[in-house]
Chain A
Amino acid sequence: MKRIEINEEYCLGCRLCEVHCVTAHSKSKDIIKTFKSEGFKPLTDSCIAFEKCGYTTFALQCRHCHDAPCIEACLTSAMYRDKEATVLHDKDKCVGCWMCIMVCPFGVIKPDFKNKRVASKCDLCGDRETPACVEHCPNEAIKLKK
Protein backbone atom coordinates (compact mmCIF):
# COMPACT_ATOMS: atom_id res chain seq x y z
CA MET A 1 0.00 0.00 0.00
CA LYS A 2 1.09 3.54 -0.73
CA ARG A 3 2.03 5.53 2.34
CA ILE A 4 2.95 9.16 2.62
CA GLU A 5 5.79 10.07 4.90
CA ILE A 6 6.04 13.54 6.38
CA ASN A 7 9.29 15.31 7.21
CA GLU A 8 8.44 18.59 8.84
CA GLU A 9 12.12 19.64 8.87
CA TYR A 10 12.01 19.92 5.08
CA CYS A 11 8.64 21.63 4.75
CA LEU A 12 9.01 25.14 3.35
CA GLY A 13 5.38 26.05 3.85
CA CYS A 14 4.91 26.72 0.12
CA ARG A 15 1.50 25.01 0.10
CA LEU A 16 2.04 23.67 -3.41
CA CYS A 17 0.85 20.30 -2.10
CA GLU A 18 -2.56 21.81 -1.50
CA VAL A 19 -2.73 23.53 -4.88
CA HIS A 20 -1.85 20.30 -6.67
CA CYS A 21 -4.10 18.19 -4.47
CA VAL A 22 -7.10 20.29 -5.47
CA THR A 23 -6.06 20.22 -9.13
CA ALA A 24 -5.69 16.43 -9.09
CA HIS A 25 -9.23 16.13 -7.69
CA SER A 26 -10.80 18.61 -10.11
CA LYS A 27 -12.66 17.75 -13.28
CA SER A 28 -10.24 19.34 -15.70
CA LYS A 29 -7.03 18.38 -13.85
CA ASP A 30 -5.76 21.64 -15.24
CA ILE A 31 -4.23 23.99 -12.72
CA ILE A 32 -5.58 27.17 -14.30
CA LYS A 33 -9.10 25.86 -15.02
CA THR A 34 -9.38 24.29 -11.58
CA PHE A 35 -9.17 27.61 -9.80
CA LYS A 36 -10.49 29.92 -12.53
CA SER A 37 -13.55 28.20 -13.92
CA GLU A 38 -14.24 25.29 -11.58
CA GLY A 39 -14.34 27.56 -8.57
CA PHE A 40 -12.05 25.60 -6.27
CA LYS A 41 -10.04 27.39 -3.64
CA PRO A 42 -6.45 26.23 -3.30
CA LEU A 43 -6.04 26.62 0.44
CA THR A 44 -9.33 25.30 1.74
CA ASP A 45 -10.48 22.61 -0.67
CA SER A 46 -7.52 20.26 -0.48
CA CYS A 47 -7.35 16.94 1.37
CA ILE A 48 -4.43 18.27 3.34
CA ALA A 49 -4.38 19.77 6.81
CA PHE A 50 -1.68 22.39 6.57
CA GLU A 51 -0.27 23.64 9.84
CA LYS A 52 1.91 26.60 10.56
CA CYS A 53 3.37 27.82 13.82
CA GLY A 54 6.24 30.27 13.71
CA TYR A 55 8.78 28.91 11.24
CA THR A 56 7.59 25.35 11.48
CA THR A 57 5.12 24.10 8.92
CA PHE A 58 3.88 20.76 7.72
CA ALA A 59 1.25 19.18 5.58
CA LEU A 60 -0.73 16.30 6.97
CA GLN A 61 -2.98 13.92 5.07
CA CYS A 62 -5.10 10.95 6.11
CA ARG A 63 -2.81 8.29 7.56
CA HIS A 64 -5.05 5.48 6.28
CA CYS A 65 -4.96 3.91 9.75
CA HIS A 66 -4.79 0.18 10.08
CA ASP A 67 -7.65 0.23 12.63
CA ALA A 68 -9.35 3.25 11.12
CA PRO A 69 -11.62 4.86 13.76
CA CYS A 70 -13.48 6.78 11.03
CA ILE A 71 -14.64 3.54 9.42
CA GLU A 72 -15.86 2.18 12.74
CA ALA A 73 -17.64 5.40 13.62
CA CYS A 74 -19.32 5.96 10.25
CA LEU A 75 -23.09 5.59 10.53
CA THR A 76 -23.64 4.93 6.84
CA SER A 77 -20.48 3.08 5.70
CA ALA A 78 -19.62 6.08 3.56
CA MET A 79 -16.13 5.66 4.97
CA TYR A 80 -14.69 2.37 3.80
CA ARG A 81 -11.49 0.53 2.98
CA ASP A 82 -10.77 -0.61 -0.55
CA LYS A 83 -8.82 -3.70 -1.61
CA GLU A 84 -5.56 -1.75 -1.51
CA ALA A 85 -6.24 -0.93 2.17
CA THR A 86 -6.76 2.72 1.31
CA VAL A 87 -9.42 4.43 3.43
CA LEU A 88 -11.88 6.08 1.05
CA HIS A 89 -15.03 8.17 1.36
CA ASP A 90 -18.24 7.86 -0.65
CA LYS A 91 -19.86 11.30 -0.76
CA ASP A 92 -23.20 9.88 -1.92
CA LYS A 93 -23.63 7.89 1.28
CA CYS A 94 -22.45 10.65 3.62
CA VAL A 95 -25.09 12.44 5.72
CA GLY A 96 -22.75 14.80 7.55
CA CYS A 97 -23.12 13.40 11.07
CA TRP A 98 -19.47 14.38 11.77
CA MET A 99 -18.72 11.16 13.64
CA CYS A 100 -15.53 10.77 11.57
CA ILE A 101 -14.46 14.29 12.48
CA MET A 102 -15.02 13.36 16.12
CA VAL A 103 -12.85 10.25 16.04
CA CYS A 104 -10.09 11.07 13.53
CA PRO A 105 -7.02 11.46 15.77
CA PHE A 106 -5.23 13.47 13.09
CA GLY A 107 -8.03 15.92 12.40
CA VAL A 108 -7.58 15.49 8.66
CA ILE A 109 -11.17 15.00 7.57
CA LYS A 110 -12.66 18.28 6.46
CA PRO A 111 -16.36 18.98 6.86
CA ASP A 112 -18.52 20.71 4.26
CA PHE A 113 -21.12 22.27 6.55
CA LYS A 114 -23.12 23.71 3.69
CA ASN A 115 -23.69 20.47 1.84
CA LYS A 116 -23.74 18.36 5.01
CA ARG A 117 -21.06 15.92 4.05
CA VAL A 118 -17.38 15.31 4.32
CA ALA A 119 -15.74 17.78 1.97
CA SER A 120 -12.41 16.20 1.38
CA LYS A 121 -10.31 13.34 2.54
CA CYS A 122 -7.07 12.01 1.09
CA ASP A 123 -7.61 9.10 -1.33
CA LEU A 124 -3.91 8.70 -2.09
CA CYS A 125 -4.78 9.89 -5.61
CA GLY A 126 -6.31 6.59 -6.71
CA ASP A 127 -4.69 5.22 -9.84
CA ARG A 128 -1.98 7.81 -9.96
CA GLU A 129 1.26 6.12 -9.03
CA THR A 130 2.56 9.07 -7.05
CA PRO A 131 0.04 11.26 -5.22
CA ALA A 132 -0.07 14.82 -6.56
CA CYS A 133 1.11 16.36 -3.29
CA VAL A 134 4.18 14.15 -3.22
CA GLU A 135 4.97 14.71 -6.87
CA HIS A 136 4.89 18.47 -6.51
CA CYS A 137 6.62 18.87 -3.17
CA PRO A 138 9.80 20.76 -4.11
CA ASN A 139 11.76 19.75 -1.04
CA GLU A 140 10.75 16.15 -0.35
CA ALA A 141 8.94 17.12 2.84
CA ILE A 142 6.23 14.68 1.81
CA LYS A 143 7.57 11.50 0.32
CA LEU A 144 6.02 8.32 -0.88
CA LYS A 145 6.91 5.18 0.99
CA LYS A 146 5.87 1.89 -0.53
Chain B
Amino acid sequence: MKYVIVGYSVAAVNAITAIRESDKTGEITVISNEDQLYSRPLISYYLAGKLKKDKIGFTSKDFEKDMKITVLYGAEAVKIETKSRHVELNNKKKLPYDRLLVCTGGSPIKIPVDGLKDGLKGVFTFTKLADAKELEKYIEKNKLKEAVILGGGLIGMKAAEALLGKKMKFKILDIADRLLANTFDKEASALLEDRLKANGCEFIKETTIKKVIAKAGKIDEITLSSGKKLKAKLLIMAVGVRPEISLVKGTAITAGRGIVTDSRMETNVPGVFSAGDCAEGLEFLSGKGAVIAIWPTAAKQGRVAGHNMAGVRDEFAGSFAMNSVEILGVPSISFGITNPKEDGYEVLKKSADGKYKKIVIKDNKLVGVILVNCIERAGIYGLLIKEKLDVFGLKKELLTDDFGFLLLPTDFRKHFVTGEGTEV
Protein backbone atom coordinates (compact mmCIF):
# COMPACT_ATOMS: atom_id res chain seq x y z
CA MET B 1 0.00 0.00 0.00
CA LYS B 2 1.32 3.45 -0.95
CA TYR B 3 0.22 6.36 1.22
CA VAL B 4 0.86 9.97 0.25
CA ILE B 5 0.19 12.78 2.71
CA VAL B 6 0.20 16.41 1.60
CA GLY B 7 0.91 18.74 4.50
CA TYR B 8 2.84 17.86 7.62
CA SER B 9 1.38 19.08 10.85
CA VAL B 10 -0.87 17.69 13.56
CA ALA B 11 -3.43 15.97 11.28
CA ALA B 12 -0.64 14.26 9.34
CA VAL B 13 1.20 13.12 12.47
CA ASN B 14 -1.97 11.60 13.92
CA ALA B 15 -2.84 9.96 10.61
CA ILE B 16 0.63 8.42 10.36
CA THR B 17 0.42 7.07 13.90
CA ALA B 18 -3.03 5.64 13.17
CA ILE B 19 -1.89 4.00 9.91
CA ARG B 20 1.05 2.37 11.68
CA GLU B 21 -1.22 0.83 14.30
CA SER B 22 -2.29 -1.73 11.71
CA ASP B 23 -0.10 -1.29 8.64
CA LYS B 24 3.55 -1.66 9.63
CA THR B 25 5.01 -1.97 6.14
CA GLY B 26 3.02 0.31 3.79
CA GLU B 27 5.07 3.04 2.15
CA ILE B 28 4.26 6.47 3.62
CA THR B 29 5.49 9.62 1.86
CA VAL B 30 4.82 13.05 3.30
CA ILE B 31 5.06 16.26 1.29
CA SER B 32 5.92 19.26 3.45
CA ASN B 33 6.42 22.80 2.22
CA GLU B 34 8.22 23.63 5.45
CA ASP B 35 11.77 22.75 6.43
CA GLN B 36 10.91 21.12 9.73
CA LEU B 37 8.00 19.68 11.66
CA TYR B 38 6.74 22.03 14.33
CA SER B 39 3.69 22.99 16.30
CA ARG B 40 2.20 26.06 14.64
CA PRO B 41 0.36 27.42 17.68
CA LEU B 42 3.72 27.56 19.43
CA ILE B 43 5.09 30.31 17.22
CA SER B 44 3.73 32.94 19.60
CA TYR B 45 5.59 31.30 22.49
CA TYR B 46 8.67 31.10 20.28
CA LEU B 47 8.59 34.79 19.42
CA ALA B 48 7.92 35.71 23.03
CA GLY B 49 11.11 33.86 23.92
CA LYS B 50 9.27 31.40 26.14
CA LEU B 51 10.38 28.42 24.16
CA LYS B 52 13.76 26.94 23.39
CA LYS B 53 14.39 26.51 19.68
CA ASP B 54 14.50 22.72 19.85
CA LYS B 55 11.21 22.59 21.74
CA ILE B 56 8.99 23.74 18.90
CA GLY B 57 8.26 20.19 17.75
CA PHE B 58 5.43 18.09 19.09
CA THR B 59 6.55 14.54 18.43
CA SER B 60 9.37 12.40 19.73
CA LYS B 61 12.74 13.05 18.11
CA ASP B 62 12.72 9.73 16.31
CA PHE B 63 9.15 9.97 15.06
CA GLU B 64 10.05 9.76 11.37
CA LYS B 65 12.44 6.85 11.91
CA ASP B 66 10.08 4.98 14.23
CA MET B 67 7.17 5.40 11.84
CA LYS B 68 9.33 4.50 8.83
CA ILE B 69 8.13 7.44 6.75
CA THR B 70 9.77 9.52 4.06
CA VAL B 71 9.29 13.26 4.44
CA LEU B 72 10.02 15.48 1.46
CA TYR B 73 10.78 18.79 3.14
CA GLY B 74 10.64 21.98 1.14
CA ALA B 75 8.51 20.29 -1.49
CA GLU B 76 5.33 21.63 -2.96
CA ALA B 77 2.48 19.51 -4.29
CA VAL B 78 1.10 21.24 -7.37
CA LYS B 79 -1.43 18.82 -8.80
CA ILE B 80 -3.55 15.84 -7.87
CA GLU B 81 -4.50 13.39 -10.64
CA THR B 82 -7.35 11.39 -9.17
CA LYS B 83 -7.76 9.11 -12.19
CA SER B 84 -4.19 7.90 -12.47
CA ARG B 85 -3.82 8.34 -8.70
CA HIS B 86 -0.70 10.41 -8.34
CA VAL B 87 0.44 13.71 -6.91
CA GLU B 88 2.71 15.95 -8.93
CA LEU B 89 5.40 17.98 -7.20
CA ASN B 90 6.87 21.33 -8.19
CA ASN B 91 9.99 19.53 -9.42
CA LYS B 92 7.76 17.58 -11.86
CA LYS B 93 8.22 14.39 -9.87
CA LYS B 94 5.12 12.21 -9.70
CA LEU B 95 4.19 10.32 -6.57
CA PRO B 96 1.72 7.48 -7.09
CA TYR B 97 -0.68 6.72 -4.25
CA ASP B 98 -3.26 4.16 -3.20
CA ARG B 99 -4.45 6.37 -0.35
CA LEU B 100 -4.03 10.14 -0.28
CA LEU B 101 -4.49 12.49 2.64
CA VAL B 102 -4.81 16.20 1.97
CA CYS B 103 -4.08 18.09 5.16
CA THR B 104 -2.75 21.36 3.84
CA GLY B 105 -4.07 23.48 6.71
CA GLY B 106 -4.95 27.12 6.28
CA SER B 107 -3.34 30.21 4.89
CA PRO B 108 -3.66 33.80 6.03
CA ILE B 109 -6.33 35.91 4.38
CA LYS B 110 -4.96 38.90 2.54
CA ILE B 111 -7.12 41.95 2.16
CA PRO B 112 -6.43 44.67 -0.35
CA VAL B 113 -5.26 47.91 1.25
CA ASP B 114 -4.31 51.03 -0.63
CA GLY B 115 -0.54 51.29 -0.73
CA LEU B 116 0.07 47.78 0.57
CA LYS B 117 2.27 45.97 -1.91
CA ASP B 118 4.04 42.63 -1.76
CA GLY B 119 7.58 43.14 -0.62
CA LEU B 120 6.80 46.17 1.52
CA LYS B 121 9.04 45.84 4.55
CA GLY B 122 7.58 45.82 8.02
CA VAL B 123 4.35 44.05 7.10
CA PHE B 124 3.96 40.48 8.34
CA THR B 125 1.47 37.68 8.64
CA PHE B 126 1.66 35.41 11.67
CA THR B 127 0.87 31.78 11.06
CA LYS B 128 4.15 30.04 10.29
CA LEU B 129 7.46 29.61 12.04
CA ALA B 130 9.14 31.47 9.17
CA ASP B 131 6.85 34.46 9.91
CA ALA B 132 7.91 34.44 13.54
CA LYS B 133 11.59 34.18 12.66
CA GLU B 134 11.43 37.04 10.16
CA LEU B 135 9.44 39.15 12.60
CA GLU B 136 12.02 38.51 15.30
CA LYS B 137 14.84 39.57 13.00
CA TYR B 138 13.00 42.66 11.80
CA ILE B 139 12.13 43.79 15.32
CA GLU B 140 15.72 43.39 16.48
CA LYS B 141 17.27 44.99 13.43
CA ASN B 142 15.05 48.06 13.57
CA LYS B 143 14.93 48.13 17.38
CA LEU B 144 11.15 48.37 17.31
CA LYS B 145 9.15 48.92 20.47
CA GLU B 146 5.71 49.42 18.95
CA ALA B 147 3.44 47.70 16.47
CA VAL B 148 -0.01 47.69 14.95
CA ILE B 149 -1.98 44.46 14.70
CA LEU B 150 -4.82 44.33 12.20
CA GLY B 151 -7.37 41.83 13.49
CA GLY B 152 -8.40 41.07 17.06
CA GLY B 153 -9.27 37.45 16.40
CA LEU B 154 -7.32 34.40 17.46
CA ILE B 155 -4.25 35.09 15.37
CA GLY B 156 -4.24 38.74 16.36
CA MET B 157 -4.36 37.72 20.00
CA LYS B 158 -1.59 35.18 19.45
CA ALA B 159 0.52 37.92 17.89
CA ALA B 160 -0.37 40.17 20.82
CA GLU B 161 0.79 37.49 23.29
CA ALA B 162 4.06 37.23 21.44
CA LEU B 163 4.68 40.99 21.33
CA LEU B 164 3.84 41.30 25.01
CA GLY B 165 6.51 38.69 25.67
CA LYS B 166 8.93 40.96 23.83
CA LYS B 167 7.82 43.88 26.02
CA MET B 168 6.44 45.71 23.01
CA LYS B 169 3.43 48.01 22.93
CA PHE B 170 0.81 47.75 20.23
CA LYS B 171 -2.54 48.86 18.95
CA ILE B 172 -5.03 46.23 17.79
CA LEU B 173 -7.58 47.22 15.18
CA ASP B 174 -10.69 45.25 14.40
CA ILE B 175 -13.73 45.83 12.33
CA ALA B 176 -15.86 44.33 15.13
CA ASP B 177 -16.76 46.08 18.37
CA ARG B 178 -14.82 43.62 20.51
CA LEU B 179 -11.80 41.35 20.69
CA LEU B 180 -12.17 37.69 19.69
CA ALA B 181 -15.45 38.64 18.07
CA ASN B 182 -16.19 35.08 16.91
CA THR B 183 -16.41 33.80 20.45
CA PHE B 184 -16.38 36.68 22.91
CA ASP B 185 -19.09 39.15 23.78
CA LYS B 186 -18.48 42.74 24.87
CA GLU B 187 -18.22 41.89 28.56
CA ALA B 188 -15.60 39.20 28.02
CA SER B 189 -13.69 41.44 25.65
CA ALA B 190 -13.74 44.31 28.14
CA LEU B 191 -11.76 42.22 30.64
CA LEU B 192 -8.98 41.80 28.11
CA GLU B 193 -9.19 45.39 26.89
CA ASP B 194 -8.72 46.64 30.45
CA ARG B 195 -5.57 44.57 30.86
CA LEU B 196 -4.24 45.75 27.52
CA LYS B 197 -4.84 49.36 28.44
CA ALA B 198 -3.13 48.90 31.80
CA ASN B 199 -0.09 47.68 29.88
CA GLY B 200 0.09 50.61 27.51
CA CYS B 201 -1.63 48.88 24.61
CA GLU B 202 -4.87 49.81 22.96
CA PHE B 203 -7.80 48.19 21.19
CA ILE B 204 -9.36 50.35 18.50
CA LYS B 205 -12.77 48.92 17.65
CA GLU B 206 -14.81 49.14 14.46
CA THR B 207 -11.77 50.25 12.56
CA THR B 208 -9.70 48.97 9.68
CA ILE B 209 -6.83 50.29 7.61
CA LYS B 210 -7.62 52.50 4.64
CA LYS B 211 -4.15 53.31 3.46
CA VAL B 212 -0.55 52.38 4.07
CA ILE B 213 2.19 54.95 3.58
CA ALA B 214 5.72 53.76 2.98
CA LYS B 215 9.05 55.48 3.36
CA ALA B 216 12.11 54.05 1.62
CA GLY B 217 10.40 50.70 1.05
CA LYS B 218 9.38 50.36 4.68
CA ILE B 219 5.97 50.89 6.20
CA ASP B 220 5.86 54.19 8.05
CA GLU B 221 2.31 55.31 8.63
CA ILE B 222 -1.24 54.05 8.25
CA THR B 223 -4.50 55.85 7.68
CA LEU B 224 -7.40 54.31 9.54
CA SER B 225 -10.94 53.99 8.22
CA SER B 226 -11.83 56.77 10.65
CA GLY B 227 -9.43 59.05 8.83
CA LYS B 228 -7.03 59.14 11.76
CA LYS B 229 -3.35 58.69 11.02
CA LEU B 230 -1.14 56.35 12.98
CA LYS B 231 2.64 55.94 13.01
CA ALA B 232 3.37 52.29 12.23
CA LYS B 233 6.81 50.82 11.66
CA LEU B 234 5.48 47.30 12.08
CA LEU B 235 2.15 45.95 10.91
CA ILE B 236 0.92 42.44 11.60
CA MET B 237 -1.87 41.33 9.32
CA ALA B 238 -4.02 38.97 11.34
CA VAL B 239 -7.30 39.23 9.52
CA GLY B 240 -7.95 35.51 9.58
CA VAL B 241 -7.15 32.21 7.97
CA ARG B 242 -8.92 30.39 5.20
CA PRO B 243 -8.68 26.70 4.33
CA GLU B 244 -5.80 26.06 1.94
CA ILE B 245 -7.63 24.14 -0.76
CA SER B 246 -5.99 25.43 -3.94
CA LEU B 247 -4.54 21.96 -4.56
CA VAL B 248 -7.95 20.35 -5.03
CA LYS B 249 -9.39 23.13 -7.22
CA GLY B 250 -10.05 21.83 -10.71
CA THR B 251 -9.97 18.20 -9.57
CA ALA B 252 -12.87 15.82 -9.00
CA ILE B 253 -12.54 16.41 -5.24
CA THR B 254 -15.49 18.41 -3.93
CA ALA B 255 -14.79 21.49 -1.84
CA GLY B 256 -16.91 24.24 -0.38
CA ARG B 257 -15.18 26.48 2.10
CA GLY B 258 -13.07 23.44 2.92
CA ILE B 259 -12.66 19.98 1.41
CA VAL B 260 -15.90 18.07 1.94
CA THR B 261 -15.51 14.81 3.85
CA ASP B 262 -17.78 12.02 5.10
CA SER B 263 -17.75 10.58 8.61
CA ARG B 264 -14.67 8.52 7.70
CA MET B 265 -12.88 11.70 6.58
CA GLU B 266 -12.93 10.46 2.99
CA THR B 267 -13.72 12.90 0.21
CA ASN B 268 -16.13 12.18 -2.65
CA VAL B 269 -13.20 10.60 -4.50
CA PRO B 270 -12.54 7.11 -3.12
CA GLY B 271 -9.07 6.75 -1.63
CA VAL B 272 -8.65 10.50 -1.09
CA PHE B 273 -9.03 11.72 2.49
CA SER B 274 -8.81 15.11 4.13
CA ALA B 275 -8.37 16.34 7.70
CA GLY B 276 -7.55 19.41 9.75
CA ASP B 277 -7.91 23.10 8.95
CA CYS B 278 -8.49 22.51 5.23
CA ALA B 279 -11.31 20.01 5.74
CA GLU B 280 -15.02 20.28 6.34
CA GLY B 281 -15.94 17.70 8.93
CA LEU B 282 -19.07 17.18 10.99
CA GLU B 283 -19.93 20.14 13.21
CA PHE B 284 -21.57 18.58 16.22
CA LEU B 285 -24.06 21.31 17.17
CA SER B 286 -25.48 21.95 13.70
CA GLY B 287 -25.09 18.41 12.41
CA LYS B 288 -23.62 19.86 9.22
CA GLY B 289 -20.18 19.93 7.69
CA ALA B 290 -17.95 22.85 8.66
CA VAL B 291 -14.32 23.84 8.95
CA ILE B 292 -13.34 23.83 12.60
CA ALA B 293 -9.78 25.03 12.48
CA ILE B 294 -8.50 24.00 15.88
CA TRP B 295 -5.68 21.70 16.97
CA PRO B 296 -7.71 19.00 18.78
CA THR B 297 -10.11 18.63 15.85
CA ALA B 298 -7.22 18.28 13.41
CA ALA B 299 -5.68 15.62 15.65
CA LYS B 300 -8.91 13.65 15.88
CA GLN B 301 -9.73 13.94 12.18
CA GLY B 302 -6.18 12.91 11.29
CA ARG B 303 -6.48 9.82 13.44
CA VAL B 304 -9.83 8.86 11.93
CA ALA B 305 -8.49 9.41 8.41
CA GLY B 306 -5.38 7.33 9.17
CA HIS B 307 -7.39 4.41 10.48
CA ASN B 308 -9.67 4.37 7.46
CA MET B 309 -6.77 4.79 5.04
CA ALA B 310 -5.27 1.63 6.50
CA GLY B 311 -8.60 -0.16 6.17
CA VAL B 312 -9.65 -0.01 9.82
CA ARG B 313 -13.12 1.51 10.06
CA ASP B 314 -13.34 4.57 12.27
CA GLU B 315 -15.79 7.45 12.37
CA PHE B 316 -15.40 11.09 13.31
CA ALA B 317 -18.06 11.85 15.92
CA GLY B 318 -18.02 15.57 15.16
CA SER B 319 -16.58 18.49 17.03
CA PHE B 320 -17.48 22.05 17.86
CA ALA B 321 -15.55 25.28 18.12
CA MET B 322 -13.53 25.76 21.28
CA ASN B 323 -10.48 27.72 22.22
CA SER B 324 -8.13 28.72 24.95
CA VAL B 325 -6.50 32.15 24.93
CA GLU B 326 -4.47 33.84 27.61
CA ILE B 327 -3.56 37.50 27.45
CA LEU B 328 -1.60 39.29 30.17
CA GLY B 329 -2.42 36.70 32.77
CA VAL B 330 -6.11 36.56 31.90
CA PRO B 331 -6.90 33.00 30.81
CA SER B 332 -10.06 32.34 28.85
CA ILE B 333 -11.74 29.31 27.35
CA SER B 334 -14.83 29.24 25.17
CA PHE B 335 -17.00 26.51 23.68
CA GLY B 336 -19.65 26.31 20.98
CA ILE B 337 -22.26 28.96 20.26
CA THR B 338 -21.43 31.92 22.49
CA ASN B 339 -23.22 34.74 20.68
CA PRO B 340 -26.50 33.30 19.42
CA LYS B 341 -28.01 35.43 16.69
CA GLU B 342 -31.46 33.84 16.46
CA ASP B 343 -34.20 33.48 19.06
CA GLY B 344 -34.66 30.38 21.15
CA TYR B 345 -31.48 30.61 23.18
CA GLU B 346 -31.26 31.27 26.87
CA VAL B 347 -28.25 33.20 28.11
CA LEU B 348 -27.01 33.17 31.71
CA LYS B 349 -24.20 35.38 32.92
CA LYS B 350 -22.21 35.94 36.02
CA SER B 351 -19.54 38.53 36.43
CA ALA B 352 -17.59 39.40 39.56
CA ASP B 353 -14.01 40.14 40.66
CA GLY B 354 -12.63 40.17 37.13
CA LYS B 355 -14.18 36.77 36.42
CA TYR B 356 -16.82 36.22 33.79
CA LYS B 357 -18.93 33.21 33.02
CA LYS B 358 -21.49 33.01 30.25
CA ILE B 359 -23.70 30.02 29.60
CA VAL B 360 -25.79 29.59 26.44
CA ILE B 361 -28.62 27.05 26.50
CA LYS B 362 -30.90 25.85 23.75
CA ASP B 363 -33.80 23.43 24.29
CA ASN B 364 -32.43 22.84 27.80
CA LYS B 365 -29.10 21.70 26.41
CA LEU B 366 -25.85 23.54 26.95
CA VAL B 367 -24.55 24.80 23.61
CA GLY B 368 -22.06 27.52 24.48
CA VAL B 369 -19.80 28.74 27.26
CA ILE B 370 -17.38 31.61 27.84
CA LEU B 371 -15.07 31.47 30.84
CA VAL B 372 -12.73 34.36 31.57
CA ASN B 373 -10.43 34.09 34.56
CA CYS B 374 -12.24 30.97 35.80
CA ILE B 375 -11.14 28.19 33.48
CA GLU B 376 -10.23 25.62 36.14
CA ARG B 377 -12.68 22.87 35.29
CA ALA B 378 -13.64 24.05 31.84
CA GLY B 379 -13.59 20.60 30.26
CA ILE B 380 -16.65 19.50 32.20
CA TYR B 381 -18.70 22.11 30.30
CA GLY B 382 -17.37 20.63 27.09
CA LEU B 383 -18.51 17.21 28.26
CA LEU B 384 -22.03 18.50 28.97
CA ILE B 385 -22.23 19.97 25.46
CA LYS B 386 -20.99 16.74 23.91
CA GLU B 387 -23.30 14.56 25.96
CA LYS B 388 -26.30 16.86 25.41
CA LEU B 389 -27.22 16.62 29.06
CA ASP B 390 -30.59 18.13 29.99
CA VAL B 391 -29.62 21.10 32.15
CA PHE B 392 -33.14 22.31 32.93
CA GLY B 393 -32.69 21.85 36.68
CA LEU B 394 -29.04 22.83 36.70
CA LYS B 395 -29.02 26.37 35.44
CA LYS B 396 -27.98 27.95 38.72
CA GLU B 397 -25.30 25.32 39.30
CA LEU B 398 -23.70 25.97 35.92
CA LEU B 399 -22.77 29.45 37.06
CA THR B 400 -21.38 28.60 40.50
CA ASP B 401 -17.69 28.96 41.31
CA ASP B 402 -17.33 25.39 42.56
CA PHE B 403 -19.03 23.88 39.55
CA GLY B 404 -18.09 20.23 39.25
CA PHE B 405 -19.39 16.71 38.95
CA LEU B 406 -21.18 16.73 42.29
CA LEU B 407 -23.63 19.30 41.00
CA LEU B 408 -24.61 17.07 38.10
CA PRO B 409 -27.36 14.42 38.18
CA THR B 410 -26.27 11.29 40.05
CA ASP B 411 -26.77 8.92 37.11
CA PHE B 412 -24.77 11.08 34.77
CA ARG B 413 -22.01 11.59 37.30
CA LYS B 414 -21.76 7.93 38.21
CA HIS B 415 -21.64 6.88 34.62
CA PHE B 416 -18.62 9.09 34.09
CA VAL B 417 -16.89 9.08 37.40
CA THR B 418 -17.46 5.94 39.37
CA GLY B 419 -16.82 2.30 38.71
CA GLU B 420 -16.98 0.82 35.24
CA GLY B 421 -16.85 2.66 31.96
CA THR B 422 -15.07 5.68 33.32
CA GLU B 423 -12.76 6.13 30.38
CA VAL B 424 -14.08 8.32 27.60
Interface residues of A, Cβ cutoff 8 Å to B: 3, 5-8, 49, 51-53, 56-58, 60, 63-67, 69, 72-77, 93, 95-99, 101-107, 109-111, 113, 116
Mark out the residues of chain B between 322 and 336 whose CB falls within 8 Å of any chain A CB in the assembled complex: 322-324, 326, 329, 331, 333, 335
* A19-B183 Cα distance, complex, nearest whole Å: 39
Identify which of B138-146, B149-157, B293-301 touches chain A: B293-301
Q: A49 contacts B379, CB within 8 Å?
A: no
Write the chain A residue with the least CB distance to B371: A102
For B335, the chain A residues whose CB sits under 8 A away are 102
Q: A105 contacts B380, CB within 8 Å?
A: yes
- Known contacts A51-B406, A75-B41; decide if A110 and B55 are in contact (CB<8 Å): no
* A58-B376 Cα distance, complex, nearest whole Å: 18
For A74, the chain B residues whose CB sits under 8 A away are 58
- Known contacts A105-B380, A105-B424; decide if A96 and B326 are in contact (CB<8 Å): yes
Q: Which of B14, B324, B383, B407 contacts A99 (CB 8 A)?
A: B324
Q: A102 contacts B382, CB within 8 Å?
A: yes
Q: A66 contacts B417, CB within 8 Å?
A: no
A65-B424, A106-B416, A107-B376 given; name 13 further pairs at CB < 8 Å. Answer: A5-B419, A6-B417, A8-B418, A52-B406, A60-B405, A60-B417, A72-B14, A73-B296, A95-B45, A103-B379, A106-B417, A107-B380, A113-B331
Total contacting residues, chain B, CB less than 8 A? 47
- Known contacts A63-B422, A66-B423, A72-B299; decide if A77 and B58 are in contact (CB<8 Å): yes
Q: B376 contacts A102, CB within 8 Å?
A: no
Q: A104 contacts B379, CB within 8 Å?
A: yes
A59 to chain B, nearest CB (A): 10
- Known contacts A60-B417, A67-B424, A75-B295; decide if A102 and B406 are in contact (CB<8 Å): no
A69 to chain B, nearest CB (A): 7
* A67-B423 Cα distance, complex, nearest whole Å: 8
Write the chain B residue with the least CB distance to A114: B329
Q: B405 contacts A69, CB within 8 Å?
A: no
Q: A98 contacts B55, CB within 8 Å?
A: no
- Known contacts A65-B424, A98-B331; decide if A51 and B42 are in contact (CB<8 Å): no
For A56, the chain B residues whose CB sits under 8 A away are 406
* A60-B413 Cα distance, complex, nearest whole Å: 11
* A57-B323 Cα distance, complex, nearest whole Å: 31
Mark out the residues of chain B between 50 and 68 whose CB falls within 8 Å of any chain A CB in the assembled complex: 50-51, 55, 57-60
List 8 interface pairs A-B (beta carbons < 8 Å), by A numbering. Answer: A3-B422, A49-B377, A51-B405, A97-B324, A98-B375, A105-B382, A106-B379, A111-B331
List the 10 shortest-distance A-B pairs measured between CB atoms, nearest first. A107-B377, A105-B383, A104-B379, A53-B406, A72-B299, A73-B296, A51-B406, A98-B324, A107-B380, A66-B423
For A6, the chain B residues whose CB sits under 8 A away are 417-419, 422
For B223, the chain A residues whose CB sits under 8 A away are none
Q: Does B404 contact A (CB under 8 A)?
A: yes
For B405, the chain A residues whose CB sits under 8 A away are 51, 58, 60, 106-107
* A49-B378 Cα distance, complex, nearest whole Å: 13
Q: Which of B42, B50, B59, B378 contacts A102 (CB 8 A)?
A: B378
B63 to chain A, nearest CB (A): 10
- Known contacts A95-B42, A107-B376, A113-B329; decide if A101 and B424 are in contact (CB<8 Å): no
A94 to chain B, nearest CB (A): 10
Q: A49 contacts B404, CB within 8 Å?
A: yes
- Known contacts A72-B296, A110-B376; decide if A98 and B333 are in contact (CB<8 Å): yes
Q: A107 contacts B406, CB within 8 Å?
A: no
